[in-house]
Structure 1
Amino acid sequence: MLHFQTFTVNQIFEHPYLVWDDTLETVIIDPGFGSVRATDQLAAFIEKKGLRPVRCILTHAHFDHIMGASFVRDKWGLDIEASSDEIGSLPSLMEQFAAMSLKVPEGVCEVELVPFRDEEQGQVHYGERTLQILKTPGHTAGGVSFFDQEAGALFTGDTLFAGGCGRTDLWGGDEAQLMHSIRQVLFALPDETEVYPGHGPFTTIGEEKKNYK
């Protein structure tokens, strides 16, 4: 059975997710934990539930989604995994902060990204479950979404929000590509698919199709 926990963190109100199954093996999606308080909250939740973090995966590598990556790496010894198309396509974390005129939070530092270990299969395996890696570029050049087909759960990062989609005026953004990702990739999923975005409220594929007629 799929279990998950949502957090809301940092100055951009980003949603990292923990997903786990009955084996208690856990995947961290988009670790935007940008403060000591947020990382303490994450560690306390994992300890309380008896979870075992085994992977950390990114929908994309914008600064608000990777602030806590170095903490995750150091705390649990995890690689920070992203799509091959995403790695190297964006400025460094510190360059992104500078470009956005934002102060770097205490404890936040650069981290090396590695390709998904099962990228050729288009899947992320953990415990007894599988997340499908759906290529959804447009917000960034190598953006992806993660789909648990059995649970009907879709983690979209900044590709698709409730009532909107990610901006395309940053590094690697492409509006036509983003619309293709939404219409041809995500809207091909069942209408009842639950959408868990990187910001804002949850929604469904069926609900969002109404905005793209």
Structure 2
Amino acid sequence: MKWHCIPLGALQTNCYVLAIDNQNCLIVDPGGDAERLISFVNEKKYQPQAILLTHAHFDHIGALDEVRDYFDIPVYIHEQEAGWLFDPSLNGSQFFQIGTLIRMKPADHILTEEKHMQIGDFKFQLLETPGHSPGSVTFYFPESSIAVSGDALFQGSIGRTDLPGGNHAQLIKSIHDKLLGLPEETIVLSGHGPATTIGEEMDSNPFLNGF
């Protein structure tokens, strides 16, 4: 599986396009700049199968409806944040100076529990990793050794927990219980900044000392 990182929107949030040999792809967290993302997918001649959301903060969903409607594909989100898509007070767009209130249509599929999932030829695991927000999830692709972690874990850092629904202790527990148990060679694709690995963060992340 190939992966592409495309920073989008006012906060340059990492959107990921995950593609396999037959040119099918998944789009994770289309945060803004819909035309740029659509052009990239079309230039690669990819065939999007779905949009996966690691969580529903405004900088991860800003281009959601435009991309969903253009490619006519379903959206997946955790039940804890299903209502955030159309509530600016919850997705944060009401409190940040981004020039608009984010109100998206409801998701097509609501994720309710950890499980193995398959969308087309993509097989992956849904890991619940709350703390940055209540419905934060990680999409883990074991065959490719890739974990798309949203804003849970970053290179040398962790997600902020001072936004509505954030919980520092819960985030540390999520990282310890769900992410640090993955193989050390697992590539972590974060919501902001460069990619890292589980092993690198176990060794050097100052927020995870003691684990």
Q: Could you say whether these structures have the same fold, taking a TM-score greater than 0.5 normalized by the shorter chain as the test?
A: yes
Quote the offset at 1:69 in angstroms: 0.4
Give the whole-Å Cα distance in 1 for the aligned partners of 2:97 and 2:34: 23
Give the 5 Å matches for 1:92-107.
92-93=87-88, 96-104=92-100
Alpha-carbon spacing, 1:43–1:90, altered in 2? closer, same or farther (3 Å): closer
Check the 8 A contact 1:141/1:172 in 2, yes or no. yes
* Correspondence for 1:175: 168
Quote the offset at 1:102 in angstroms: 2.6
Quote the offset at 1:149 in angstroms: 0.2
List gaps (5 residues or longer) in structure 1. none
SS, match of residue 14 in structure 2: coil
TM, length-normalised to structure 1? 0.88
Quote the offset at 1:196 in angstroms: 0.7
Give the whole-Å Cα distance in 1 for the aligned partners of 2:190 and 2:3: 13
Check the 8 A contact 1:158/1:198 in 2, yes or no. yes
Does residue 22 in structure 1 map to residue 35 in structure 2?
Answer: no
TM, length-normalised to structure 2? 0.89
Give the whole-Å Cα distance in 2 for the aligned partners of 1:137 and 1:161: 15
Check the 8 A contact 2:55/2:150 in 1, yes or no. yes
SS, match of residue 46 in structure 1: helix
Matching residue within 188, 192, 197 for 1:199: 192
Does residue 66 in structure 1 map to residue 41 in structure 2?
Answer: no
List gaps (5 residues or longer) in structure 2. none
Check the 8 A contact 2:114/2:127 in 1, yes or no. no
Q: How many residues align?
A: 205
Structure with the largest fraction of strand = 2
Matched AA of 2:95: A
Q: What CA deviation, in whole Å up to 9, does each residue of 1:99-151 have, x standing for no partner?
A: 1233128xx6522124347x667234234231211110001101100111011
* Correspondence for 2:119: 126
Give the whole-Å Cα distance in 2 for the aligned partners of 1:175 and 1:115: 28
SS, match of residue 7 in structure 1: strand
Quote the offset at 1:91 in angstroms: 7.2
Give the 5 Å matches for 1:13-162.
13-33=12-32, 38-88=33-83, 92-93=87-88, 96-104=92-100, 109-116=103-110, 122-162=115-155
* Correspondence for 2:7: 8
Runs of 4+ residues over 6 Å off in structure 1: none
Q: Percent identity?
A: 35
* Correspondence for 1:165: 158
Q: Taking CA–CA contacts closer than 8 Å with sequence separation of 6 or more, which of the two structures ends up with the larger relative contact order?
A: 1
Quote the offset at 1:21 in angstroms: 1.0
Decide which moves more: 40-49 or 169-178.
40-49
Decide which moves more: 127-136 or 8-17.
127-136
Check the 8 A contact 2:185/2:199 in 1, yes or no. yes
Alpha-carbon spacing, 1:185–1:39, altered in 2? closer, same or farther (3 Å): same
Matched AA of 1:199: H
Matched AA of 1:113: A
Matching residue within 159, 162, 178 for 1:185: 178
Give the whole-Å Cα distance in 2 for the aligned partners of 1:163 and 1:14: 17
Matched AA of 1:147: Y
